[in-house]
Chains A and B, each alone.
Chain A
Amino acid sequence: MELLRVVDLAKHYGEEAAIAGVTFSAAPGEVLGIVGPNGAGKTTLLEATAGLVGTDSGDVFWLGEALPPSRRKAAMFYLPDGVKPYQERFTIEVLTFFGSVYRRSAADVASAIASLELQPVLRKRVSALSKGYNRRLLLAIGLLTPHRVLLMDEPFDGFDLRQTRNIVEVMRKAAGGGRTFILAIHQLADAERVCDRFILLAGGQVRGIGSLHELRTQTGIPDGSLEEIFLALT
Chain B
Amino acid sequence: MRSPKTDLAYGAPLPPLLAKELAEILSGRALWTMLLLICPLIGFSFVEAVSLYSEASAAALQSPAAAATLSPLDGILVPTFGSFYVAVTLLFPFVAIRVLGQEKESGALRLLVQLPYRSSTLILVKLAAILAAWAAASIPVLSTLVIWALLGGHLGASETANLLFGHSLYGLLVGAISLFAATISDSSATAAIVALATTIGSWVLDFTVAGRSGLSTWVAQLSLTQTLHSFEQGLLSLGLVVGIVGVIGGLAALSTVWLPPGIPMRVKFARSVACAMLTIVALGIATQIRTSVDVTEDRRNSFAPSDQKLLATLRLPLVITVNLAPEDPRYIDLRRNVLGKLERAMPNISIALAGSRQDQAGKSDAYGEIEYVYGGRSDVSRSTSPREILPLLYALAGTQPPAPMPGAEYPGYPLVANADVTLIWFFCGLPLLIALAWWRSHLPPAVKSPKLEGGQP
Contacts and interface: CB of A to CB of B under 8 A. Distances in A.
A51 B260 CA distance: 10
B108 A86 contact: yes
B308 interface: no
Query: What's the interface size class on A, roughly?
Result: 35 or more
B110 A100 contact: no
A84 B106 contact: yes
B23 A89 contact: yes
Contacts of B262: 47, 51-54, 69
Interface string B248-266: 0000000000000111100
Nearest to A99: B16
B110 A114 contact: no
Contacts of B453: 119, 122
A86 B106 contact: yes
Contacts of A173: none
A200 interface: no
A89 B24 contact: yes
Contacts, number: 137
B454 to A, nearest CB: 7
Nearest to A88: B27
Interface stretch (A20-28, A60-68, A210-218): A60-68
A123 B447 contact: yes
Contact of A111 (B6, B27, B110, B457): B457
A73 B13 contact: no
B261 A53 contact: yes
A93 B456 contact: no
A90 B449 contact: no
A77 B263 contact: no
Among the interface residues A71, A77, A88, which one has the most CB atoms of the partner chain B within 10 A? A88
Interface residues of B, number: 44
Contacts of A47: 262
A23 B194 CA distance: 42
A69 B263 CA distance: 9
Contact of B111 (A102, A119, A124, A141): A141
B27 A89 contact: yes
B17 interface: yes
A109 interface: yes
B13 A87 contact: no
Interface in A36-77: 47, 50-54, 62-65, 67, 69, 71, 73-75, 77
A119 B110 contact: no
Contacts of B113: 52, 73
B114 A62 contact: no
A131 interface: no
A106 interface: yes
A119 B453 CA distance: 6
Interface in B439-457: 444-445, 447, 449, 451-457
Nearest to A142: B111
A65 B2 CA distance: 8
B9 interface: yes
Nearest to A55: B262
Interface string A102-138: 1100110111011001110011100000000000000
A85 interface: yes
A83 B4 contact: no
Given A62-B3, A86-B108, A87-B102, A92 B24 contact: no
29 contacts: A51-B262, A52-B110, A53-B261, A62-B4, A65-B2, A67-B3, A67-B4, A71-B9, A73-B8, A74-B8, A80-B110, A80-B111, A83-B107, A83-B108, A84-B107, A85-B106, A87-B106, A88-B24, A90-B444, A97-B16, A100-B16, A101-B12, A101-B17, A103-B13, A106-B452, A110-B456, A122-B452, A124-B444, A147-B8
Interface of A: 47, 50-54, 62-65, 67, 69, 71, 73-75, 77-80, 82-90, 92-93, 97, 100-103, 106-107, 109-111, 113-114, 117-119, 122-124, 141, 146-148
Given A52-B114, A88-B24, A93-B445, 13 more contacts: A65-B3, A67-B4, A71-B3, A74-B8, A84-B108, A87-B106, A88-B27, A89-B23, A97-B16, A100-B15, A101-B115, A107-B457, A110-B457
